[in-house]
Structure 1
Amino acid sequence: MLQTTGNGDVIRVIASIYGIQTASKMLPLIAETKDFKISGYVAKPEVNRANRSYMTILLNHRYVKSYPVMKAIQAGFHTLLPIGKFPVTVLMIDVHPHLVDVNVHPSKLEVRLSKEQELQQLVTDAIKDVFAEETLIPRASEGTVRKQVSRDKSEQVPLAFDEETRLDESKSDRSEKKSGPDANPDYSEFASGREEPRSGESVRKETGKADTKKDVPFEEREERQATHVYEEGLPRQRERVPKLYPIGQHHGTYILAENESGLYLIDQHAAQERILYEYFREKVDDPPKTQQDLLVPLTIELTNQEHDVFIQHKNEIERMGMSVELFGQRSYLIRSVPVWFPDGDEEAILYEWLEQLKEGKRLSAGVIREEAAILMACKAAIKANRHLRSDEMERLLDDLRSCEDPFTCPHGRPVIIHYSTHDIERMFKRVM
C-alpha cells in the first residue's frame, strides 16, 4: 500500500514511491508556451532504469501514456544515458482539453495531442536546459564500494495501470536480477552523507605528508592552466568540470586526477570520445561543401530487393549527397559521397539506408550526421592500455573541460567519477 503525507508536495510523493535516494537525485523542471505548460522532476542520468515504466506522464492531472512525449524525454537525455537504459521522470502537462483526443485506447490510457511537435520540442529543450546548469559527475559513495544494488531498498515498484506495463516491469526485474549487483551501480551522494570534504591542503597538514606534485599548492597550479582546445574547432564553453591535476594512470586506461575536492577517475577513451564527438558534430553540421568525389569509385552489388528499393528511392539517396550510378545488371558505382562520411564506411552506409527505406522509414540527414560523428569519434579516440605522458593527460583533461556535455561519452557511459576526501577517509575508517 502506498502512503504519502497528502500535502501535495510532489517530491515527497516521489520519495514515497521510488525511495529517498532516487528523490535526492531529482531536478525540478518547468517550462511553458502559449498552448502548453509543463512541470515536474527529472532524475540525473546516473539514476536510470531498464525500461520506460519510470517515465510518468500526467496530462491535466491524469496518468496517461504518450509515446511521442516519451520519445521527447529520451531526446532530452541524448548521449547522457547508456544504450538500453531509460530515465526516471515525473512530467505534468497542462493543456486545453480541446487539444487532447482521449478516445485512442479503450482504457483511456493513451492520448493523441494536437500540436504534438510543439510539445515534444518544449519537453526536450526543457530537459536539456535543466542539465545545462548541472555538474553531472557521479560521486562514488560507500554504496559503490560495497557493490550494492543501485535501487534503494525502500523503493516501491512503479505505478502500473495496465497489464502491458506490469508484464514489462516483471521482465525488467528478472533481467536486473540476472545481471548481478554490479549491473547498474548508483553513485548516490545521499548515501554517503552531506558533510563537506576537507581541502587537500588541510589533509596534507594533518597527515604530515607533502603533496606529490612537487609541493605546488592548488592555488598556484590554477594559475598555470593552459587552453588546449582544438585550434580549428571546439570553442571554449562555460566550464562545468573543475580544474583537475593528473597524478597518474591505472592500467593505461583510467587517468587519476585530484583537486581540492578529492580524487577523480577519468576513462581516457570515453573522455576523448566525447571531445572528438563534439568536434566532429560541428564539422558535419557545417561542411564547406556538400560532396567529395572518390579517388577510386566503389563497386557494390545489390540483391533484387535492394535494387528495387534503390530504383524507387534513387532521388532521395542523391538528395542525401551520395552519387550512385548503374554499372551492370545489379551492380552500382559509388562515385561521390558527403564530405562528412567516415572514411571506409561508404558501402555500409548505403546498405543501411536501403534497409531503412525497405522498412518504410525516411532518411534523415540530421540523424545520419549524428551517427557519423559518433562513429568517427569512437574510431579516432585513444584506446585502453595506452599509457599517456603527463602533458598528454593534462591536455586531455583541459579539452574535456571545454566540452558542452563533458560527463558522458556519446554512448552514455560515464566519463568521470568523483571520490571526495570524505569518501576516501570513510573507506579507510579514518572517520566513522
Structure 2
Amino acid sequence: MAVSILLGSRIVSIVWLPSTWFFLGSNYGQVANNLPSPEQVRLLLTSLRITKTRIYDTNPGVLTAFANTGIDLIVTVPNEAVGMMMDPRQALQWVMTNVQPYFPATKITGISVGNEVYTSDDPTLMSNLVPALLSIHSALVQLGLDSYNHVSTANSAVLENSYPPSMGSFKPEMANLVVPFLQFLAATKSPFWINAYPYFAYKDSPAKVSLDYVLFKRTQGWLRYDNMLYAQVDAVIFAIARLGYGGVEVRVSETGWPSKGDPNEVGATVENARAYNRNLLLRQIRSEGTPVRPNQRLEVYLFALFNEDMKPGPTSERNYGLYQPDGTMVYNVGLAALTSSASVSLTSSATRENGETMNRIHVMRLPPCPNTTKKKQQRQYTGGGTKAIESFATWIALRVIIR
C-alpha cells in the first residue's frame, strides 16, 4: 500500500512495508532552519511505521504533533539544565511542564538527562548527573509516571579498553562516577544508552580497520565479530559486568554514517552510508542480538532522520540524514521517500552497485521476524579488524557474570 504526503513543496510517495519490519528507531534532530514541520515529520514517520524516535529537547510542537501516533518518544534534558535538575522542586516542575501534560497521548517512554555528559570535560556537569537522574525519577514516581519512563543518559568514549570486547573496561578516573550511575540504572531497570559510531574508527585508521568490518559485510566463523558495532556494544556490556551490574541492558541511542564529508574525512560517502545503514536495517529485521546476548534484540536508534544544515563542525556533521529536509532521500536504504513517480524497496536491488537509482524497483518478500523474549567519540572502539575472535575459555568465563 502506498501513500502520498506533502513535505515542504514536494509530494512524497511511500510504500508501506510489513509492520514487523520497523524495529529501528530514529534520531530526529532539529539543528536546522529548513526542516519540515513537526506535523509533516509525524506523517513521514507514521507512514514509514517507525515506532521509536529520540529528540534532543522537549519541543512542545513535536510533543503535540506526535500525540496519538503510537510512537515511543525519548525526550532530553539539555546539558545546560542538568544542574537545575538536582533540585527536586525544579525536577518536578520540569516533568510537570514537559512530560505530564502530553502523556499518555504522546507516548513519552524515555528521558535522557543530558547527552554525552561523561565526555563533556565539565567535572561539575559530570558530578551533577546522578543527582539529577534521581530527582527526575523521583518526580516521575510522585506523578505516577515512573512505570512508563526510563531515565538515563546517552554515553560515549567512556571505556579504557574495548578490544577484544571481553576486555571492555571503564576509564579508571570515571569509576567514582560510573558506579553510582550503574546503581541507579539497576535499581530503576533503565538502559545504558551508548552513541556508537564505527565510522570514526574507520576514518581515523582506514589502513588498519577493514571497511567490510565496519559496514556489516558478514564474514564466516565461530564466535567471531563480523561487524564493529556489535563489538562496541559487547565491550560496554563486559565493562558494566566487571563492575557487578551485568543485568543492565545496553541500547544504542545513536549510530549512523555520513554521506558527505571534508577531504580529510575518509569514508564519508553516499555508498558507505547506504551500505552501513541498509545492512544495519536488515539485521534489525532479523531481530539480531550481539554475540554476548544473541537472544536479546539490540535496540538501535539511527542518526539521523534529516540532514541538519546548522550543525557546527566538519561537513560530515551536517550530512548524517537519511532524508533531505524536503523529504527526498539522500540514498535508498529501504526506509525511503521518493518523488511520486518512483517506488520503494527494502532490498539491495533498490540501487545499482554504482549508486544509480533504478527506474523500477522490486520488493523482496522477507520471512517474518522471529518472536523473541528477549561521531566523535568512538575512536576508542576500534574492534580490531575483520576477525575479532574471542578465546572460548575467556568467553565462557566472562559470560557467567553477564547473565
**Smaller-chain TM-score range?**
under 0.3
TM-score by length of 1: 0.21
- Flag the structure with larger Rg: 1
**TM-score normalised by L of structure 2:** 0.22
**Which protein is richer in strand relative to its size?**
1
